[in-house]
């Protein structure tokens, strides 16, 4: 059995819906379908999820939301019209959307989550209506019925182990297509909570694990995952197969084709993932497979740079002799709910690299003041123009000279490298550089490993 998930751009309009249906029905193994909300039809368009966020904010702000609701309904109506779905069938969708403000919510965050989740909810219902109209046995399955139990905050939920027990007991017939909305689950108290943005990938992975799929096919709008971002490197090579851990390392530094949190259920269930293009389903796409038994063909699999990093740098003599020094710093960060990404250290120095998106100036001042008071370092600096490059590859394990090849390529381009961190994971090297040099650095490393020099 295959779980297939379609991203927002793959379900943005009637034509894309038709293409998705062609893919679903071309293979009888494709039985579990996960929908995103309709995405952008062109670069100036707005995703339905963003319209729903606007709708929620207008409700919260006591503003007029009529136009927004009309626009959202218009997106579904256009898809329904494409297939000649009778308008009375659409009535349920628009009634449902209109009555959202009159529901009770424990607080504004739950309201926001429920509004947001309706992009996928309505799209999954519409998909089942269209499939039925075309003569297929299709059924909408809600996260309540399937048991997608989540915990955490309403707009950043995580799946619970209980969800897998419930999914194990979920019954369905061999002949029907099951249509699930992506992006959200249900809390113990019965409220809707969404995963982080792009989280329909996570639903697909939960279902792939929970329903014991042989493969999780993730349909999106690119032919494959590329070695480097095509906006940075011209026509980069496509990755045909990569391991889960390579994908984890790359996605957290910026590879955004597949949601990094969605890898975990797939890893736990040992389900291979195939990222494919809805518009070119005949192409093989990229397979993401278990690490065990994987035979790399290249040294490097992917190169990515993330420009959303900053660092706290501390210098203190005899730092290495002070027991509990790092612990005290980390306690301060933990108290403020700030996580860190990397922490290279030396005999008298330590650099703590953070994701800039989770802090603001006020928080940084507070954290740095507390560190100064508690630790009294000789030097404390906030560096906010770092970029982190990850060079990742199973083929790098036990191979001599990879780091020097990377550093040589950067030296040839006069790119300064203030941080190198190799060893935490044997399959990656982290390079810290400055954000102004980040793209050139990716291009230089790509050239070194993937472009044949002419004699
Ligand atoms: N529709 C949601 C978003 O835009 C989730 C998803 O597309 O995966 O973030």
Ligand 1 atom 6: the closest Cα is on which residue?
198
Instruction: Work out the burial of residue 136: count CB atoms within 10 Å of its CB; fewer than 13 is exposed, 13-18 middle, 19 or more buried.
Output: middle
Q: What are the tokens at 5?
A: 């998930």
Q: Tell me, what's the pLDDT at 453? A: 67
Ligand 1 atom 2: the closest Cα is on which residue?
198
Model confidence pLDDT, tens digit, residues 345-375 = 888 889 999 988 889 999 999 999 999 999 8
Instruction: Report how far residue 398's alpha carbon sits from residue 331's, in angstroms, rounded to the nearest whole number.
Output: 35
CA of 200 to the centre of ligand 1 (A): 6
Q: Give the DSSP H or E segment for 352.
A: strand 349-355
Give the global pTM.
0.90
**218 within ligand 1 shell (Cβ under 6 A):** no
Q: Tell me, what's the pLDDT at 249? A: 86
Q: What is the mean pLDDT of each run of 10 residues along the chain (455 residues)?
A: 97 97 97 98 96 98 97 96 91 93 96 98 97 97 96 94 96 92 97 96 98 97 94 95 92 80 95 97 96 91 91 87 86 93 86 89 94 92 90 89 92 92 81 93 96 70
**377 within ligand 1 shell (Cβ under 6 A):** no
**8 within ligand 1 shell (Cβ under 6 A):** yes
Instruction: Report how far residue 341's alpha carbon sits from residue 333's, in angstroms, rounded to the nearest whole number.
Output: 12
By most ligand atoms within 8 Å of CB, the mutation choice from 193, 200, 220 for ligand 1 is 200
Instruction: Report how far residue 324's alpha carbon sits from residue 321's, in angstroms, rounded to the nearest whole number.
Output: 9
Q: Tell me, what's the pLDDT at 288? A: 96
By most ligand atoms within 8 Å of CB, the mutation choice from 198, 258, 260 for ligand 1 is 198
Model confidence pLDDT, tens digit, residues 28-80 = 999 999 999 999 999 999 999 999 999 999 999 999 999 999 999 999 999 99
Nearest CA among 195, 166, 191, 156 for reference residue 34: 195
Ligand 1: atom nearest CA of 259 is 8
**160 within ligand 1 shell (Cβ under 6 A):** no
**204 within ligand 1 shell (Cβ under 6 A):** no
Q: What are the tokens at 77?
A: 């109506």
- Residues 203/117, Cβ–Cβ less than 8 Å: no
Instruction: Report how far residue 337's alpha carbon sits from residue 195's, in angstroms, rounded to the nearest whole number.
Output: 19
Ligand 1: atom nearest CA of 183 is 5
Q: Give the DSSP H or E segment for 326.
A: helix 325-335
Instruction: Report how far residue 54's alpha carbon sits from residue 280's, in angstroms, rounded to the nearest whole number.
Output: 33
**181 within ligand 1 shell (Cβ under 6 A):** no
Instruction: Report how far residue 134's alpha carbon sits from residue 31's, in angstroms, rounded to the nearest whole number.
Output: 16
Ligand 1: atom nearest CA of 195 is 5
Q: Tell me, what's the pLDDT at 253? A: 73
């Amino acid at each position: 059995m295959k779980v297939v998930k379609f991203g927002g751009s793959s379900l943005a309009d009637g034509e894309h819906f038709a293409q998705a249906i062609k893919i679903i029905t071309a293979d009888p193994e494709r039985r579990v379908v996960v929908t995103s909300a309709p995405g952008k039809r062109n670069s100036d368009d707005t995703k339905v999820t963003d319209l729903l966020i606007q709708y929620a904010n207008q409700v919260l702000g006591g503003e007029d939301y009529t136009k927004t609701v009309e626009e959202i309904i218009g997106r579904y109506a256009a898809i329904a019209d494409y297939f000649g779905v009778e308008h009375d069938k659409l009535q349920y969708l628009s009634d449902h959307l209109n009555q959202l403000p009159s529901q009770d919510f424990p607080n504004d965050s739950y309201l926001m989550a429920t509004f947001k989740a309706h992009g996928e909810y309505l799209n999954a219902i519409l998909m089942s209506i269209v499939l039925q109209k075309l003569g297929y046995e299709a059924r909408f399955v809600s996260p309540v019925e399937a048991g997608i139990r989540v915990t955490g905050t309403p707009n950043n939920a995580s799946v619970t182990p209980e969800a897998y027990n419930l999914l194990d007991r979920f019954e369905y017939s061999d002949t029907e297509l099951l249509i699930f909305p992506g992006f959200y689950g249900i809390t113990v108290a019965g409220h809707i909570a969404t995963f982080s943005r792009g989280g329909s990938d996570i639903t697909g992975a939960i279902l792939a694990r929970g329903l014991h799929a042989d493969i999780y096919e993730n349909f999106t709008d690119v032919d494959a995952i590329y070695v480097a971002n095509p906006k940075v490197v011209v026509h980069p090579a496509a990755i045909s197969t990569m391991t889960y851990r390579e994908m984890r390392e790359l996605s957290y530094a910026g590879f955004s084709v597949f949601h990094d949190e969605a890898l975990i259920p797939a890893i736990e269930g040992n389900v291979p993932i195939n990222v494919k293009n809805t518009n070119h389903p005949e192409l093989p796409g990229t397979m993401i497979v278990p690490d065990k038994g994987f035979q790399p063909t290249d040294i490097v699999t992917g190169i990515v740079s993330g420009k959303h990093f900053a660092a706290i740098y501390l210098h203190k003599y005899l730092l290495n002799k002070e027991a509990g020094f790092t612990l005290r710093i980390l306690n301060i960060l933990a108290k403020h709910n700030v996580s860190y990404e990397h922490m290279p250290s030396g005999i008298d120095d330590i650099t703590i690299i953070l994701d800039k998106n989770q802090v603001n100036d006020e928080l940084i001042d507070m954290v740095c003041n507390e560190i100064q008071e508690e630790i009294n370092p000789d030097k404390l600096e906030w560096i906010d123009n770092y970029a982190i490059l990850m060079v990742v590859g199973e083929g790098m394990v036990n191979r001599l000279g990879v780091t020097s090849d990377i550093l040589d390529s950067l030296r040839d381009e006069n790119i300064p490298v203030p941080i190198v961190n190799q060893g935490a994971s044997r399959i990656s090297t982290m390079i810290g550089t400055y954000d102004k040099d980040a793209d050139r650095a990716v291009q230089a490393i790509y050239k070194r490993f993937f472009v044949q020099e002419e004699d």
